[in-house]
A and B are shown apart, each in its own frame.
Chain A
Amino acid sequence: MCLGIPGQVVEIIDAAKHLAKVEISGVRRQISLACIVSDSHPIESCVGDWVLVHVGFAMSVINEDEARKTLELLMELGEAQKELEAMQSSEQN
């Protein structure tokens, strides 16, 4: 029940009922966008959004900046570790 899956909004089916076609792993399904539409983010602007889908509802628009920031942070951490290792194990003879 906790397992949400990312998908991309491809077209609006019924704006009044907030229904859209979302592509999830190559499969297209009718999904409700009721939880992600707002005055500042009307239904038409949802096309192209990456969303987390949960039991037939898009529950969150995946924040691509935050995703990138998280991954970059971890990759930098990895590089810093490698630098440290290289410093400590460098042969000086």
Chain B
Amino acid sequence: MKYVDEFRDPELAKTLLAEIERLLPKIKTTSQRPLQIMEFCGGHTHTIFRYGLEQLLPKTIELIHGPGCPVCVLPMGRVDDCIALAERPEVIFTTFGDAMRVPGSRKNLLQAKADGADVRMVYSPLDALELAKKNPDREVIFFALGFETTMPSTALTVLQAAEDNVKNFSLFCNHITTVPTIKAILDSPSMQLDGFVAPGHVSMVVGEEPFHFVANLYKKPIVITGFEPIDILQSLWLLIKQIAEGRCQVENQYARVVATGGNSPGLAAMASVFELRDYFEWRGLGSIDQSGVKMTEAYSHFDAEKKFSMPNLKVADPELCQCGEVLRGAIKPWQCQLFGSACTPETPMGALMVSSEGACAAYYNFGNLQEIMTLKEKSIS
């Protein structure tokens, strides 16, 4: 596939790994502890596991998996709200596929569907709008989630709905923002990160400027990165070069897709339709200020939270769940007491085992399971 295959070239991978190996010993700290680089985005976590990149890297560099998986950080209470909406007889509840198996306190959306709720998987919010037009006697709700990456598509769909005067379409808005989350991680006293692999598709929308604070304020190097294995390896090389040369800057490795200023039409649509919430609840990370968006007054007739009542309860994770610690990068997935036993992709306890971008699912599906379970047993004993 064009613009994909070239960035999976094993020869280029070898080149980059050789450069990384050459540079790492030049960084003094690596003699005492490995460099800790965080990839924020779930899509990056997925690539790292799918291509076994961590195993190819020297032990003097460690990859910490961040909480950038919007499905993984959905609190159980919000899933319960989805189910309450879906169970209304007049509602067609539409959602992206990976949200369907996230556990709520009683069941997930897929189970709600099996129990009779009209839950439908859509690829695009535009498909949900089409459903609304084709079913004028039903209320179509779109479960809008994702970071800034999917905000333009949701916003533009609302603008199209307004233009077409569609009355039976609304959003259950769970969009979250990247910058406050990265800031919360950087402010966390237990984190000792040396650099960031920045989310390439968030940046495609918001541009480079929102990430300047990481280099300017927190003095950490940060590289905006694409999603193929060569992209990630090149970013790690650029980060290591920065550290070796004592620089801390924002670099754009993904220039073929990311423009410095981001996506203007997308940003304009977002500014019309969304505004920041004062705070938003994140699974495992608690409440983060200004980390979520809600719909503006002008588009409140498309806001499911205004149109319908829902339980809106704060539900705590199951006691044994360690999703929060994995999301914060404090423990590796296999260090969770439930990993591989009570919690597997077939019987997930939390969203990290369900989402295609979740760190636990990635470890389970692509990691060497035998090796991981041995490590787990050793750490318990």
On A, residues with C-beta under 8 Å from B are 1-6, 17, 25, 32, 34-38, 50, 52, 54-57, 59-60, 62-64, 66-67, 69-71, 74-75, 77-78, 81
Identify B15's interface contact among A17, A25, A74, CB under 8 A.
A74
Select the residue from B46, B70, B265 with max chain A CB neighbours within 10 A. B265
List 26 A–B pairs whose Cβ atoms lie within 8 Å, in order of A's numbering. A1-B42, A1-B43, A1-B96, A1-B149, A2-B199, A4-B204, A32-B156, A34-B156, A35-B265, A35-B266, A50-B2, A54-B201, A57-B126, A57-B152, A59-B204, A62-B257, A63-B255, A67-B256, A70-B255, A71-B6, A74-B230, A75-B12, A75-B15, A77-B16, A77-B19, A78-B14
What A residues does B255 contact at CB under 8 A? 63, 66, 69-70
What B residues does A50 contact at CB under 8 A? 2-3
What A residues does B230 contact at CB under 8 A? 74
Asked if B287 is an interface residue, CB under 8 A from chain A, the answer is no
Q: Is the CB of A55 within 8 A of B98?
A: no
Asked if B1 is an interface residue, CB under 8 A from chain A, the answer is yes
Q: When chains A and B are docked, how far (Å) is the Cα of A76 from the Cα of B264?
A: 34
A33 nearest CB neighbor, chain B only: B265
What A residues does B125 contact at CB under 8 A? 55-56
Size bracket of the B interface: 35 or more
- Contact A67-B124, Cβ < 8 Å, known A1-B146, A54-B149, A56-B153: no
Q: How far is the CB of A42 from chain B (nearest CB, A)?
A: 13
Q: Is the CB of B153 within 8 A of A57?
A: yes
Q: How far is the CB of B26 from chain A (nearest CB, A)?
A: 16
**B189-215 interface bits toward A, Cβ cutoff 8 Å, 1 = contact, 0 = none:** 000000000011100110000000000
